[in-house]
Structures are given as structure tokens and as C-alpha cells.
């Protein structure tokens, strides 16, 4: 039986997430989570905001992953108990923290929030899954990716293809679309223009030996379905 529409545990559709983000300018969607980064005038202001985050999390009964780096707070909220997906709980927490940040000296810097996942080209993902689950202590997520149950280490995903690249393992660097131009400018002197076929969703670059990295953004090539 499906969950009620207002259930805090209901996984949101892509359209619902996109609609919620219109009211959350500091936040981005990232691999089944809502993420943001706020910069403060100094570390003391950042620590003070951490206390606000803790209080909000206790009130909501839902706790984000937090990374404090001097004057910057990086946040990620997802619902691990439904397989690492965005639910109404995540939107409610992000909304509360968005209001709190607006009453503080916080400056949103979403371009500084980046994540890395590991992609593996293969003709048969199932043939490889058990090995990587065992060696990393991961589990299989609802979307088929292998994920760290503690949410600390990169995802592993399998790119199923009949023509695997000779260098089968590649990195996906997940960044905010607002930081894409800066990232491309840094890479182009070393790797040229890259493969921009799939922009704005992702751009592919290769090093001198053909090892690839994809710069992935929250932008989709097609808008989410109204489902």
C-alpha cells in the first residue's frame, strides 16, 4: 500500500522536488539528497549557525549530514530509512533552515558543494555488484547505485554499455550548475573543450591517458515529468 500524500516518509517525484526548490534558493538536488553550503563572516558565526541546525533537526526529528569547514557549513539532507531519497521531511527541514539562514549573515555558496561518485563501464552490472558491495561494505540503493550505508563515501554506479571504454572506471564530479563555467575554464587548458553533447546535465573530459571525468550538474536535459 502506498503512503498518503502528506506522509513525511513519502518519496517525492522529480517534479515535486523541482517545485520545492523554487522556494529554496540556497539548495540543490544531488543524488537523492538536498544539499547547500553557507559561508559566514568567520568561524564563530558558523559555529553559532551549527547550533541552529542542531535545534531545527531535533524539532523536526530529522537530522542532516553536516560538514563544518572554518567559516563554511555544508549540509545534506536525505531520508536514509527509505533508501536515500528526498521526502517531505527533507523539504520541511530545508525550508526551516532556509528561513534561519535568511536571518543570519549567511551567504549561499552552492557552487562550493561538490560530490564525487565512481562510474564503471560494463556489459553486465549484476556480474560486478557483489564484489563491490563486499569490498566496500555498501548496499544497493533503490536506483541501482551502490551506496555507503553511513553516507560518507562516494557512490558506485554501473554504466551498462555494449561498448565499454578501455578505461572502464571514471569519476563523476557533481557540482552546482552555477559553478560549471569556472570548472570548465580550469580544465580546458589541459583537456580542451571536452564532450558537451549532454550539456547542461554533464560534460566529459579526459586526461592524457584517456581516463575520464564527468562534470555533472543538477540541470536535466529534459524537464521532470508532471507525475
Which residue range(s) make up the domain with 145?
114-216
7 against 22, higher pLDDT: 22
Instruction: Indicate whether 133 and 193 sit together in one domain.
Output: yes
Residues facing 11 on adjacent strands: 87
Last residue of a domain, one of 111, 131, 153: 111
Looking at the predicted structure, is the pLDDT value of residue 123 above 90? yes
DSSP 57-77: HHHHT---EEEEETTEEEEEE
Instruction: Indicate whether 103 and 121 sit together in one domain.
Output: no
Instruction: Indicate whether 72 and 145 sit together in one domain.
Output: no
Confidence of residue 2 (pLDDT cuts 50, 70, 90): low
Confidence of residue 204 (pLDDT cuts 50, 70, 90): very high
CATH of the domain at 60: 3.30.1360.20
Asked, for residue 18, whether it belongs to a domain, the answer is yes
Residue 227: per-residue pLDDT? 54
Distance in angstroms (rounded) separating the CA atoms of residues 180 and 157: 22
Asked, for residue 226, whether it belongs to a domain, the answer is no
pLDDT in tens, 39-55: 999 999 999 999 999 99
Asked, for residue 194, whether it belongs to a domain, the answer is yes
Question: What percentage of the chain has pLDDT greater than the value 90?
Answer: 59
Q: Which of 112-116, 154-158, 186-190 has the highest mean pLDDT?
A: 154-158
Instruction: Indicate whether 134 and 199 sit together in one domain.
Output: yes
∠ CA 171-202-22, rounded to 5°: 120
> What pTM was estimated for this model as a whole?
0.79
Asked, for residue 1, whether it belongs to a domain, the answer is no
Instruction: Indicate whether 103 and 162 sit together in one domain.
Output: no
Question: What percentage of the chain has pLDDT greater than the value 70?
Answer: 95
Please state, in angstroms and as integers, the Cα–Cα distance from residue 96 to each residue in 18, 24, 82, 88, following that order: 18, 10, 22, 12
CATH of the domain at 165: 3.10.180.10
Confidence of residue 150 (pLDDT cuts 50, 70, 90): confident
Asked, for residue 173, whether it belongs to a domain, the answer is yes
Instruction: Indicate whether 42 and 101 sit together in one domain.
Output: yes
Instruction: Indicate whether 162 and 173 sit together in one domain.
Output: yes
Asked, for residue 2, whether it belongs to a domain, the answer is no
Asked, for residue 6, whether it belongs to a domain, the answer is no
Q: Summarize the confidence of residues 194-218 as an average pLDDT.
A: 89
Last residue of a domain, one of 60, 78, 111: 111
Residue 25: per-residue pLDDT? 95
Residue 207: per-residue pLDDT? 87
Instruction: Indicate whether 93 and 158 sit together in one domain.
Output: no
Last residue of a domain, one of 85, 111, 137: 111
Distance in angstroms (rounded) separating the CA atoms of residues 214 and 171: 6
Instruction: Indicate whether 119 and 186 sit together in one domain.
Output: yes
Task: Classify residue 8 by burial, with Cβ atoms within 10 Å: 0-12, 13-18, 19+.
Answer: middle
Instruction: Indicate whether 93 and 132 sit together in one domain.
Output: no
pLDDT in tens, 98-108: 999 999 999 99
How many separate domains does the chain show? 2
Instruction: Indicate whether 134 and 212 sit together in one domain.
Output: yes
Instruction: Indicate whether 161 and 144 sit together in one domain.
Output: yes
Q: What is the mean pLDDT of the chain?
A: 90
Amino acid at each position: 500500500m502506498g503512503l498518503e500524500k502528506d506522509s513525511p516518509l513519502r518519496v517525492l517525484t522529480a517534479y515535486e522536488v523541482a517545485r520545492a526548490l523554487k522556494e529554496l534558493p540556497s539548495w540543490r538536488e544531488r543524488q537523492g539528497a538536498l544539499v547547500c553550503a553557507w559561508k559566514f563572516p568567520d568561524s564563530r558565526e558558523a559555529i553559532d549557525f551549527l547550533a541552529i541546525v542542531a535545534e531545527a533537526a531535533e524539532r523536526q526529528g530529522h537530522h542532516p549530514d553536516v560538514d563544518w569547514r572554518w567559516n563554511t557549513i555544508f549540509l545534506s539532507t536525505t531520508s536514509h530509512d527509505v533508501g536515500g531519497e528526498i521526502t517531505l521531511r527533507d523539504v520541511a527541514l530545508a525550508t526551516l533552515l532556509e528561513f534561519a539562514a535568511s536571518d543570519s549573515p549567511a551567504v549561499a555558496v552552492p557552487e562550493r558543494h561538490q560530490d564525487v561518485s565512481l562510474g564503471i563501464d560494463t556489459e553486465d552490472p549484476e556480474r560486478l555488484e557483489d564484489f563491490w558491495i563486499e569490498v566496500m561494505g555498501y548496499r544497493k540503493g533503490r536506483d541501482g547505485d551502490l551506496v555507503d550505508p553511513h553516507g560518507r563515501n562516494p557512490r558506485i554506479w554501473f554504466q551498462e554499455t555494449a561498448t565499454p571504454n578501455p578505461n572502464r572506471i571514471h569519476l563523476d564530479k557533481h557540482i552546482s550548475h552555477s559553478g560549471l563555467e569556472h570548472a570548465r575554464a580550469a580544465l580546458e587548458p589541459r583537456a580542451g573543450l571536452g564532450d558537451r553533447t549532454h550539456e547542461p546535465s554533464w560534460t566529459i573530459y579526459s586526461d592524457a591517458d584517456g581516463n575520464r571525468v564527468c562534470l555533472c550538474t543538477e540541470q536535466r536535459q529534459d524537464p521532470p515529468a508532471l507525475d
